[in-house]
Structure 1
Amino acid sequence: MKVIEVTHPIQEEQYITEDVAMAFGFFDGMHKGHAKVFDILNQKAEAANLKKAVMTFDPHPSVVLNPKLKRTDYLTPIQDKIEILESYDIDYCIVINFSSKFAEVSAEDFIQDYIIKNHVKEVIAGFDFTFGKYGKGNMMILDEMTEFNSTVVSKQEINSEKISTTDIRKSLKTGELQKANDELGYRYRIKGTVVQGEKRGRTIGFPTANVQPSGDYVLPKNGVYAVSMEIGADKQIYRGVANVGVKPTFHDPSKAQVVIEVNLFDFGENIYGERVTVFWHHYLRPEIKFDGIDPLVEQMNKDKEKAKYLLSVDFGDEVSYNI
């Protein structure tokens, strides 16, 4: 997949020169609703013998258009989004830097400079896709164009509820992890690097890997989770328990920084500096403050046993699992 990073105005050498079917959207989360867009993109490209392209944006438009409610954390930061797009066998990915200058582009100029000049013959986007200054452009306008065809993808639902990035973010923040994973169509994941922590866990029999996220990820609700973690280049999967939070038993919650700590089962290797991916399987309980080490350790043992059971259901007897 060729990735074309564009800062407005788009340069002549950045245009796609082959005829393409192109999907448009921000696509944070690459969830089941987005998967429908890419399915239709594939159908349209195959039917018309076109290359497949995607146009997306970075950062989120709210950073420019609505600073009070700006979205600066993501389900899939841009590098994750690109990686998932590659799995759809996309030929071209245009990443538009959504800047103040780009926000001033009129709907008419967007159509001419970003659609027609990119040899787009089929446009595919969700029903709520808008473009151009003040969001004046929409799919109804595109449907009237004669230079290309347009396909509107209707809202996708689970249990009569619309699948949306906003809803998935809300579910993660409220501990409804299963609901979030159902809408995503895969287990939520956070990539990062194992860094030095306080090393307190090893003194109480629960050594943990302190995971520093590699991007601006949406963090799940503070609490304890059953997780699996992929480590290093060999991509071996290990099971464990993760805590997201400020460790209130040891720190003042108002001053402590939220961290991700993962205790892997039956694992004793030194993995500082390793790149890892944490897969979030089950929410176990909220983070709470304990009156001392003993009740904390007692609860951690209970968390571990519950996580082992739940993950055994997920994995069966497999040692490694392609999530």
Structure 2
Amino acid sequence: MRVTVLTGGTSAERDVALASAVQVIGALRSRGHDVAVVDTARGYIPESDEGALLPGMVGTEPPPIDRLHALERGLLLSGLADLAVVRDAEVLFLALHGGRGEDGTIQTLLEMVGVPYTGSGRLGSAMAMDKDISKRLFRAAGVQTADWVMAPASRTQVDRDFGWPVVVKPSKQGSTVGLTVVKSQDKYDAAVTLARQFDDEVMIERFVPGRELTVGVLEGGTLPVGEIIPRHEIFDYECKYTPGMSQEIFPADLPEAVSAECGRLSLVAHEALKLGGYSRVDFRLTPAGELFCLEVNTLPGMTATSLLPQAAGAVGIQFPELCERICRAARRVRVEDPS
């Protein structure tokens, strides 16, 4: 296949996207595919420049905001349609995370261009990226999720409705960027200010204690449930992308009934958001045995430490095969059965 990998972009998860691209490019080339690369903020990357422009590792913190703002002056998204490596590709692999790469913007453009792309469509991508909308849909579908309120919300209101701690986070952001676990009233305002640096909408959510679980959805089925044990209090940016900062167990050591319920709820959440292709659904399992859905990732990470590839590996799907299956599924959906 002629595959063009779209990566980079201008979101706070830019470095994650670039690291995902490095893994995907190598995997697809190892299977004999013709692979080109486009940074949606900078344009086409010749193969001779890939080593210099595509870092394979993610730092311990997101890129500085001023660096991302500078990239905003790069390639206009509409210019993607003019690139031959985009127009002539048999499939576009979206190694993009956050921002316009995951919120339905890129997906809308690519549907107008008519080139098959991996992952979910424009509507599902937009709904999943918006945490307020996705949680409303979870509840409507019978999937339990933590209580929440959108800012503005006073410290008095939060104290009355939730107590402490609470989670304060941007409504449309991933990789825990801008997220704070607030344990007391005096830290609340600063947490809201931080979250607003990354989104104009801020969510305040009841903190749910318990074990961190994750389920990959692939081609209409689920992969083994995994458990994440981070070295920090939460599975934050550093723990996600720094080797050795978390322990990931696939399959998780869970009662069979709990694993089955995780799988069932993952498919319900995936379908409630009208997603396609593949996704990753994150949960908290409380000490009382309750499952709370945290969020659904429509373009889960594909870095060297990412969870979806580990889940696939637990059932014998090696990374190159996983990438190829994702590409072939995109072509089936958008070429052979575009309805």
Fold conserved between structures, TM > 0.5: no
Query: TM-score under structure 2 normalisation?
Result: 0.26
Larger helix fraction of residues: 2
Query: TM-score under structure 1 normalisation?
Result: 0.27
Larger radius of gyration: 1
